[in-house]
Amino acid sequence: MKNLLYLIFLIFILTSNPVNVAGKDFFIAALEKRADGIYFSDHKMDADPETFQQLDVFWSKDKNKVFYRWHVVDVADPGSFEAINYQIGKDKYNVYWNSQFSEGIHAIKDADPKTFVLCGPTSVYAYDKERVFYISSETADGQEIKGTDKESFEILRGSYSKDKNNVYYKNEIVESADPDSFKVIQGSVTDFTNYSIDSHYVYCHGKKLDNSDAKTFEIINQYNAKDKNNVYTNNLFECNIMTGADPGSYVDLSRNYKKDKNNVYFGYWGDIIENADPESLELIQDIYSKDKNNVYLMADVIEGADPKTFRYLNYGYSLDANNVFYMDKAIKGADINSFRVVKEKYAADSFANYFQDIVISRNGKTHDIKNKIMHDRLRGRILLETEKNGEAWYVSPDLNKAYYLGLPLDAFAVMRELGLGISETNYNSFKGYAPQKLSGKIILRTEAMGEAYYVNPPDLKMHYLGRPADAFRVMRELGLGISSEDFDNL
């Protein structure tokens, strides 16, 4: 983590403007010398420009004061102060530490500034002539590791250290750990796999795992391990025993699915999937599985899914012999024979387009009109099928077709597709009411970015169709009810 911070600071330094400080050019992140003084991140510093010195990325001083960023460190002595790294500095009296845990600069208790040394430029460990310290953002002011033997002290991996007497995790003694046989078996890069052992026990995040057996212990993957007695789970913060897991038959199927002779488990913590059959379990995808009885999304049953015919498509879509699913929801009315995934979260079949499990448009559904008498009476009208929850149709005033208006986007698309362009001169002459020849038509103002209006046949009033929701509302408000039988006879 600290290496990453140093890299970020280096990028800042190399991309910042040069500042002449005490006769020397510095490339300092967020530091700027202006005519009226010196600024850090646009905060004016109470600094003397003539004697100002930049010591590190965040530390600076003049003849009177020490600064961390733009803040004055009142307790520090500017005459003897020096920066150790971007968070730690010292003077002849104290070693100072800027902790992210609590605001402000703190003196590290009992640290001797004359002999204080970091174990490495980005190390969280330091020592002086008598003590060893653990300095981390998890502590407010840096902590002495109590009782250490400096001569035999050794830094291990994964926040562990040891001396001839004890093993330490961060700044705490690891109870029961044997320093002679103790070793960290994984976790040099991240603490996700922070397991360690000695001759008797297994440890994780500095804690002994109860009833553990070091001799049979093995790491399975980044999150799981086992010995002859238990199966273990491990994340950034803690380790746990998987309750009820049988280590003898335990198998890691993927990063998410695991099983033993008794149960199927999901996730880092090994949540039991209720009633899942381990013998017939099959993996389908990273978070999908099935057994002889059910299909599972993570640890939950997908209701209604047929395990014999179920197959995963992509982007959360799947289907079986009877239904199409998005995640764990069946998409009502979706056609399994023509259904296809278009792109992330979008899909289509022969009849509709989908976003996740929501129908966003129908695919140009039309009805051919054969009854001329009825057509002449209903040209340009909106029809609502009363026996089908008011499904809406637009009867073309010119063509022998009715266009389906199932959703706002359908209504909007139909009106845009069938619109008739008019000039601003004609539009202005209408004064809100169109001439009879435009009855039932959609008109588009070609000189006003295609603003659309529907001309209602009974009164020729023009209704604005600015957005899909407007078009849908107009269609619903002006629609005529019609029975399914009459519509079929149209």
The proportion of the chain whose per-residue pLDDT surpasses 90, expressed as a percent, equals: 62
Identify the band that residue 21 occupies on the pLDDT scale cut at 50, 70 and 90.
very low
Residue 386 has pLDDT above 70, yes or no: yes
Residue 132 contacts residue 153 (beta carbons within 8 Å): yes
Across 44-48, 113-117, 288-292, 388-392, least confident range: 388-392
Average of per-residue pLDDT across 406-434? 83
The residue with greater pLDDT, 41 or 23, is: 41
> Averaged over 42-52, what is the pLDDT?
95
What is the overall mean pLDDT for the chain?
87
Closest to 180 in 3D by CA, of 194, 203, 164: 164
Confidence of residue 489 (pLDDT cuts 50, 70, 90): very high
Contact between 116 and 160 under an 8 Å Cβ cutoff? The reply is: no
Share of the chain above pLDDT 70, in %: 88
pLDDT range class, residue 9, cuts 50, 70, 90:
very low
Look at residue 136 and give its three-state secondary structure: coil
Nearest residue to 285 (alpha-carbon basis) of 265, 257, 248, 261: 257
Query: 349 or 193: whose pLDDT is higher?
Result: 349
Q: What is the predicted pLDDT for the residue at 101? A: 53
Q: How far apart are CA 347 and CA 123, in angstroms?
A: 52
pLDDT at 104: 77
Whether the pLDDT of residue 291 is over 90: the answer is yes
The average pLDDT across 54-71 equals: 95
Output 122 or 482, whichever has higher pLDDT: 482
pLDDT of residue 68: 94
- What confidence score (pLDDT) does residue 103 get? 65
Residue 2 predicted with pLDDT over 60: no
> Residues 339-380: pLDDT tens digits?
999 888 889 888 788 889 987 766 667 889 999 999 999 999
Supply the pLDDT for residue 5. 39
For the sheet containing 143-144, what is the strand order? 117-118, 125-127, 132-134, 143-144
Confidence of residue 193 (pLDDT cuts 50, 70, 90): low
Q: How far apart are the first and last CA of the chain?
A: 72
Dump the DSSP string for 353-405. Answer: EEETTEEEEE---EEE---HHHHHHHTT-EEEEGGGTTEEEEE-SSSSEEEE-
Does 392 score more than 90 pLDDT? no
Mapping DSSP to helix (H, G, I), strand (E, B) and coil, where does residue 347 land? strand
pLDDT at res. 22? 37
d(CA 91, CA 87): 14
Give the mean model confidence (pLDDT) for residues 190-200: 76
What pLDDT does 136 receive?
82
The Cα angle at residue 107 between residues 104 and 109, in degrees rounded to 5: 135
pLDDT attached to residue 403: 86
Q: What is the mean pLDDT of residues 100-119?
A: 85
From residue 22, alpha-carbon distances to 6, 34, 70, 82, 329 in Å are 25, 14, 18, 16, 68
Q: What is the mean pLDDT of residues 443-447?
A: 92
Give residue limits of the domains in the chain.
27-131, 145-242, 271-362, 366-489
pLDDT at 319: 98
Instruction: Read off the tokens for 383.
Output: 């029809």
Average pLDDT over residues 204-233: 92
CA angle 148, 151, 152 (to 5 degrees): 70
> For position 141, what pLDDT does the model report?
58
Out of 151-165, 295-309, 460-474, pick the least confident. 460-474
Going by pLDDT thresholds of 50, 70 and 90, the confidence category of residue 3 is very low
Judged against a pLDDT cut of 90, whether residue 473 lies above it is answered with: no
Q: What is the pLDDT of residue 400?
A: 92
Residue 40 has pLDDT above 80, yes or no: yes
Task: Say if residue 16's pLDDT is above 60.
Answer: no
Q: Which of 19-23, 259-263, 436-440 has the lowest mean pLDDT?
A: 19-23
Element (H, E) at 481: strand 480-482
Residue 1: the pLDDT is 41
Please write the tens of the pLDDT for every residue from 122-170. Answer: 788 999 999 999 988 766 556 889 999 999 999 998 889 999 999 999 9
What is the reported pLDDT for 259?
Answer: 97
